[in-house]
Amino acid sequence: MSKALIIAEKPSVANDIARALGGFTKHDEYYESDEYVLSSAVGHLLEIAAPEEYEVKRGKWSFANLPVIPPHFDLNPIAKSESRLKVLTKLLKRKDIDRLINACDAGREGELIFRLIAQHAKAKQPVQRLWLQSMTPAAIRDGFARLRSDEEMQPLADAARCRSEADWLVGINGTRAMTAFNSKGGGFFLTTVGRVQTPTLSIVVEREEKIRRFVPRDYWEVKAEFVCAAGFYEGRWFDPKFKRDEFDPEKRDSRLWALPAAETIVAACRGQIGVVREESKPSTQLSPALFDLTSLQREANGRFGFSAKNTLGLAQALYEKHKVLTYPRTDARALPEDYMDTVKQTLGMLKESNNYLPFAKQVLDKGWVKPNKRIFDNSKISDHFAIIPTLQAPKNLSEPEQKLYDLVVKRFLSVFFPAAEYRVTTRITEVVGHHFKTEGKVLVEPGWLQIYGREISGEDANLVPVQKDEKVKTDKIAAQQLVTKPPARYNEATLLSAMEGAGKLVEDDELREAMAAKGLGTPATRAAIIEGLLGEKYLVREGRDLIPTAKAFQLMTLLRGLGVKELTAPELTGEWEYKLSQMERGNLPRDAFMQEIARMTQTIVKRAKEYDSDTIPGDYATLQTPCPNCGGQVKENYRRFACSKCEFSISKIPGGPPVRD
């Protein structure tokens, strides 16, 4: 009797599938039932490699052997998991296996893992795709009832292969070219680059350069305390005619750049009577959208200090092991339009928990689950929808798992609640022609904020009232000296946001959604990119900050000096990511993409190969220590420290620690 072979991505998923479908007998490396044979990979079992005639041993990484652009790629088994590959190959070749079911993770990498296994085994059987949003037994059974066709998955498979091959071409050729350049003077100085990793590094290096160039400036603000019939309130001087200066972003309407100007205002207003005008208007604040992986990683980093890698691991465990969250590696922040009934069932499950009962009950009792394009919108989802709780109640979660689950549940509940309502008051006090601003914001209806423990503010809690046409007296007034601050260093939350916007730090949710298609990497890969930069010692962690090392600055100096903007301009890499997403949708052919990548690879190698100057332009130091030969000035360049008066010089190791004196 013919059977289908199901290949999952990891043993735990195979185990879940066996339990959900039932009727399986367990063997050493696989399960078997009347209808199915079921086994699994353990992540990637194969890696792409150049055919042997293109392979170059590390000691021969010279420009003569570059670029390496093979006409096709071979597959090499990954040594540590080769035994698992042999098991799957043997099962694929069984005579009774007449169709295959790809049950690897529902995304680009899962598609690639399965396709490479099938290619290696030269499998000819027809393929169907299991596409899961949730790992509950009911969701698994539902997935088997709706298997996708192989043709439907081909665009995703093309994008997966292109991503893998593009990373290989740019990584191998870029690394060998930069290593060859840095090793010109003898020795072997490994200099790694990556298609997404290096542009991400450039974002952090550029910020650090701004911090290093930053010169603090003194400024003054004038603050006054006014006495009125009901008490007193504070105001800050501002210039009502102020206009933003695009060449000097540090200018603000309340900043004075000279002490005499501030003292003049203080002297003019002290003890004087002020006239008040006031405007109060309502303001609303909607809850943030449902989580995708990147926004969840940002929130967890900001609240708990979890790294992007940790958050992904916790979310994966909550999805796979505990089955309490939907698929986490998603870039969508909406739900399918036919998901309203499931949402109501999920709220019913949450109602059983004391922590969530009052909020889940309110949503259900008041009928707040209704068609709303902010929440239910098919046009905002592709393969996966937003991360939400499943119908399964959590049990035995670790403390970090519970924290992350709680974040997701509260966000899920909050999107159905009404907006928070405020009354915003702006009070302008005019004293002898000078204007002082006082702002008050009172929470009138907490709406979704009550889920996070916010209550209604007391009546005018933070602003004493004034009567119409009331005169007030300037009781106290003083100039306060302050100093401008440099830009903040990136932490994982802000770097994830910058990667999402291809280098632009995007705070607005709607704009972030529009730009997400052109971001650096994908939600599933961004954590690994950051970890890769830390592992390669291009970045170090100091507290929550990410700081580029001397090695990072050296690499950026080299790439900029060679004019390799393909690896230093985040927006260009964002365009490549956009093209891959277009390919996933069937809108871009694989060949066209790979031809462009090959041209880019040739350009990177050509620039390094043809650069004939002995040094690279950059921002180099002049040492305070004089030349030991003649006492002249010693200056740094890309390759060495050299005296400006005599022949003295010391070679530098590219990427080594900076010389300090």
Q: Beta strands 97-103 and 127-129: pairing type? A: parallel
Residue 319 is a catalytic residue: no
Q: Among 327, 356, 422, 538, which one carries the catalytic annotation?
A: 327
Say if CB 634 and CB 641 are below 8 A apart.
yes
Dihedral angle, C-alpha 43, 35, 147, 129, nearest 10 °: 30
Structure tokens of 621?
A: 């130091």
Amino acid at 559: L
CA distance 117 to 92: 9
Q: Taking Cα atoms as reference points, which of 552, 649, 651, 562 lies closest to residue 611?
A: 562
Burial 406-445 (b: 16+ CB within 10 A, else e): ebbbbbbbbbbbeebbbbebebbbebeebbbebebebbee
H-helix segments, 146-275: 150-182, 197-213, 259-269
Q: Taking Cα atoms as reference points, which of 451, 325, 314 lies closest to residue 385?
A: 325
Say if CB 309 and CB 294 are below 8 A apart.
no
Say if CB 74 and CB 102 are below 8 A apart.
no
Say if CB 426 and CB 463 are below 8 A apart.
no
Burial class (CB in 10 A: 0-12, 13-18, 19+), 154: middle
**Phi, psi of 644, rounded to the nearest 5 degrees:** -85, -5
Residue 477: beta bridge partners? 224
Burial 605-638 (b: 16+ CB within 10 A, else e): bbbbbeeeeeebeeeeeeeeeebeeeeeebebbb
Say if CB 605 and CB 177 are below 8 A apart.
yes
**Phi, psi of 517, rounded to the nearest 5 degrees:** -65, -20
Which helix (H) or strand (E) covers residue 36, if one does? strand 36-40
Say if CB 37 and CB 29 are below 8 A apart.
no
* Cis, bond preceding 67 (omega within 30 deg of 0): yes
- The secondary structure of residue 256, as a DSSP letter, is B
Structure tokens of 581?
A: 């997403």
* Residue 623 CA: distances (Å) to CA of 209, 260, 417, 555, 635: 19, 40, 62, 21, 6
Q: Taking Cα atoms as reference points, which of 16, 79, 4, 12 lies closest to residue 41?
A: 12
DSSP string for residues in 427-474: EEEEETTEEEEEEEEEEEE-GGGGGGT--PPPTTTTS----TT-EEEE
Inter-axis angle of helices 308-320 and 526-535, nearest 10: 140
Q: Taking Cα atoms as reference points, which of 196, 179, 197, 194 lies closest to residue 56?
A: 179
Name the one residue in this structure whose structure tokens are 């040594």. Answer: 79
CA distance 473 to 458: 26
Catalytic residue annotation: 327
